[in-house]
Structure 1
Amino acid sequence: MNKYLILCVDDEREVLDSVIQDLDCFEEHFLLEGAESVAEAKEIIAEAQSEGAQLALILCDHIMPEQTGISFLIELHDNKLTAKSKKLLLTGQAGLEDTVEAINHASLDFYLSKPWSGEQMRLIAKELLTQYMIDNEPELMPWAQVLDTEKIFNAIADNRISFGE
């Protein structure tokens, strides 16, 4: 089932480690990776894609040395291989203009400000991953135990009605 990638990008190692620790409950069913730069994130995405994995969720800081998180999320949105991925901006420094740009041009799915609670992050990630699977995974049943069971079962029922089973 590990053909989907959750990628966390933050140039501060302690923050990155904290995000990964908060999401390690998903590690049994998803590839969970961390990157300290946009360049490293691009390498991880390319490697995952070469192994047949898709980027399901990216959590990205905004203020980073070589490229802002928002410009990276826009890049991912504009790439047909990563456009469908769920995008979460995790930052304490993005202003209103930056956030509006991310929403309008990167199809930002969620904005979470620092500091966050681990429980809040897990709930948001579960919600975003559930929606990603409903939108992109033809075989939903295995995900019912891992993600939002009710939403997965509703989607399965809706699919049966749509296909006249």
Structure 2
Amino acid sequence: MDKFTIICVDDQPEMLFQLAHDLAEFSDWVKIKICSDAQSAQESLEKLDQDGRYACVVLSDQNMPGQNGVDWLQSLAKDRRFRHTKKVMLSQRPTHQVFIDAINLAQVDRFFIKPWDQEELIHEVRVLLTEYVFDKGVDYEPLQQHLDQDTVRKFLRGVTF
């Protein structure tokens, strides 16, 4: 089960700690990788790809030194190797333009304003992990206890025999 990874990217250590804490319930089947900037996150993605492991979900802050979240997630969205990776944007005070760019350019799947609601974050990440498993074509049955059951049913209803 060490094939699945969630990458958390934020330049504020307390935010990374909070994300790791909030996502800890996934740690029995998903590795939580924390990165302090887009460059280290990209290096982690490259290593996962080389090792044949899955970058299932990326949670990225918008305001970071070097490369901001929208720009980095936009480049990630263009990389065919990570086309199934689910993207979540985090921002404390997003502008209207950041919302538009996150959706239209970076193709984010979810957007959370800091501070986020822990239960909502956990639920949405579980849904995204489930979508990733089905989008990637991974055998879901051994993972079923970890997945969002409503999302599993949605995908199974779409299956034709």
TM-score tier (shorter): over 0.9
Shift of 1:135: 1.5
In the aligned structure 2, how far is the partner of 1:158 from the partner of 1:97? 35
SS for the counterpart of 2:55 is: strand
Q: Which residue of structure 2 aligns with residue 128 of structure 1? A: 128
Shift of 1:71: 0.4
**TM-score calculated relative to the size of structure 2:** 0.93
2:88–2:109: 8 Å Cα contact kept in structure 1?
yes
**TM-score calculated relative to the size of structure 1:** 0.91
Structure 1 letter corresponding to 2:114:
K
Q: Which residue of structure 1 aligns with residue 137 of structure 2? A: 137
Q: Which residue of structure 1 aligns with residue 98 of structure 2? A: 98
Moved more, 142-151 or 31-40: 142-151
Gaps of 5+ in 1: none
2:127–2:151: 8 Å Cα contact kept in structure 1?
no
* Two-structure CA RMSD over aligned residues (Å): 1.4
In the aligned structure 2, how far is the partner of 1:109 from the partner of 1:150? 17
Gaps of 5+ in 2: none
SS for the counterpart of 1:106 is: coil
Q: Which residue of structure 1 aligns with residue 13 of structure 2? A: 13
Q: Is 1:63 the counterpart of 2:68 in the alignment?
A: no
Shift of 1:117: 2.1
Shift of 1:80: 0.6
**Cα-to-partner distance string for 1:88-117 (whole Å, 9 max, x where unaligned):** 101113211111011011211111000112
The within-5 A match list for 1:7-156 is 7-156=7-156
In the aligned structure 1, how far is the partner of 2:135 from the partner of 2:110? 17
Shift of 1:28: 1.4
In the aligned structure 2, how far is the partner of 1:11 from the partner of 1:153? 37
Shift of 1:157: 5.4
SS for the counterpart of 1:72 is: helix
Query: Structure 1 vs Structure 2: percent identity of aligned residues?
Result: 27
Runs of 4+ more than 6 Å apart: none
